[in-house]
Amino acid sequence: MSTPTLYLPRDSRLHHLHPLTKLALIGLAIVAGATLPVTLWVIAVYLLILMPLAAWGKVLPAFLRSSLLLIWPFALSLTLIQGFFAPGEHILLQLGPLSLKLEGIQLAADYTARILVWLSAVILLMLITRPDQLMLALTERGLPRQIGYIILTALQIIPRFQQRAETILDSQRARGLETEGNLVKRLRALVPLVAPLILSSILELDERAIALEARGFTRAGPRTSLTTLKDTAPQSAFRWLSLIVMLLLILARAAGWMTA
């Protein structure tokens, strides 16, 4: 059982960038995907920026698999819902009272491309960044360290909680609890299923808190860190530049400077 994250350790230049630099890269792709006015340009962000980045990070197969797996339900729903219900003139297909329209398909394609870009940008970030290093980078920049504790601990204890939930499910089934059958039966099965899991989790919190206290968690005063993150002047410059480009893109979009 391992930590449920997407991170893939690879020896690549991309992996070795400072986590905030990676965050800036991904932020740039997300902002571009949201603000660029033409669908094709948005698709270009995926094809010409995100995919090459993934290849550079030696995670291209996983990137393609995850992003396509994620996008197809959106693509399907959007094509049907926008295709049939968005207003338009060019009817492609008439099904009784419903008609599939070209304008709807175009709208669906535009939404699909934008969702694809931002979701796959997030996925790429996770494929190439260890969550603990990302949190360390943010903590060094002033994020309260309790937030880092919460996120990283949650990530690591999930498998244990899933395992406990399964164990309770099995034992309740063995005692004859109905988890099959009609809806009312399945609903009634929920409380004895989740209550023991929640109650036992609450009762062990004191131990978790004491264990932290015993290690100086609430001690006043400065902290140090075992691990260091490598940062360079060019990376810092790149991050500032990205920030400016992102702001410009947003401004251009809001002011209507960019049009198809």
Q: Quick one: 166 or 240, whose CB is closer to another protein?
A: 166
- 167 binding another protein? (CB under 8 A): no
Q: Quick one: 212 or 251, whose CB is closer to another protein?
A: 212
Residues 231-260 binding another protein (CB under 8 A) are none
* Cα dihedral value 149, 151, 152, 158, nearest 10: 120
- Rounded to the nearest 5 percent, the helix, strand and coil shares of the chain are 70, 5, 25
- 174 binding another protein? (CB under 8 A): no
Of 10-18, 52-60, 110-118, 249-257, the window that binds another protein (rule: CB under 8 A) is: 110-118
- 158 binding another protein? (CB under 8 A): yes
The residue from 13, 89, 204, 259 that contacts another protein (CB under 8 A) is: 204
Which contacts qualify for 12-17: CB closer than 8 Å, 24 or more apart? 12/56, 12/57, 12/58, 12/128, 13/56, 14/53, 14/56, 14/57, 14/128, 15/57, 15/128, 16/230, 17/235
Residues 59-78 binding another protein (CB under 8 A) are 66, 70, 73-74, 76-78
Residues 33-62 binding another protein (CB under 8 A) are none
Which contacts qualify for 167-171: CB closer than 8 Å, 24 or more apart? 168/193, 168/196, 168/197, 169/193
- 102 binding another protein? (CB under 8 A): no
Q: Please, are residues 170 and 179 in contact by the beta-carbon 8 Å criterion? A: no
The residue from 95, 174, 226, 260 that contacts another protein (CB under 8 A) is: 226
Q: How far apart are CA 141 and CA 20, in angstroms?
A: 10
Closest residue by Cα to residue 110 from 121, 102, 122: 102
- 171 binding another protein? (CB under 8 A): no
Retrieve residue 59's tokens: 């995670």
**Least distance in Å: CB of 11 to another protein?**
15
The residue from 12, 106, 156, 235 that contacts another protein (CB under 8 A) is: 156
**Least distance in Å: CB of 237 to another protein?**
27
- 108 binding another protein? (CB under 8 A): yes
Closest residue by Cα to residue 154 from 3, 19, 7: 3
Q: How far apart are CA 142 and CA 34, in angstroms?
A: 28
Residues 122-141 binding another protein (CB under 8 A) are 122-123, 126, 130-132
- 151 binding another protein? (CB under 8 A): yes
Residues 177-196 binding another protein (CB under 8 A) are 179, 183, 186-187, 189-191, 193-195
